Amino acid sequence: MTESRIIQGYYCKTCNHTVFSRARHDFRACLCWRKKPIDEGVAVDGGSDYFKVATTSKFKGEQVSIKTELSERELYDDWNRRHDRWGLHEGKVSKIGDYYGRGGHITRQLANDPVDW
């Protein structure tokens, strides 16, 4: 079993999505960022190698810590093979990965629910 670890991401309140970068060159953007012109939203890059964040002046959101048992290899393969199960999630997410296997379980954190791990 893979040990759990924390990865960093961002939650966008405008489009209600959480984004995080799965690999070194995995540039991930929320749905707001994808609209033209880009005048709100957030994008992240760097995987576990570094953490770059790009936002606009109108960005409404926050940095989030996401607990996962997925290995770096699983996250890299998800990006590299274009499976795209993990980098963008609807809602504010506090955990990813299935803690009872690898079925794609996602736990959403309610706005007033403290993170307890």
Question: What is the span of the domain harbouring residue 15?
Answer: 5-108
- Per residue in 15-47, pLDDT (tens digit) is 999 999 999 999 999 999 888 888 899 999 999
Separation of alpha carbons 95 and 108, rounded Å: 7
- Per residue in 67-111, pLDDT (tens digit) is 988 999 999 999 999 998 888 989 998 888 754 344 444 444 434
Enumerate residues 6+ apart whose C-beta is below 8 A from 21: 9, 27, 28, 44, 45, 46, 47, 51, 87
Spatial contact of 95 and 107, defined as CB atoms under 8 Å apart = yes
Q: Specify if 38 maps to a domain.
A: yes
What is the predicted pLDDT for the residue at 96?
A: 81
Q: Specify if 113 maps to a domain.
A: no
What's the structural domain count of the chain? 1
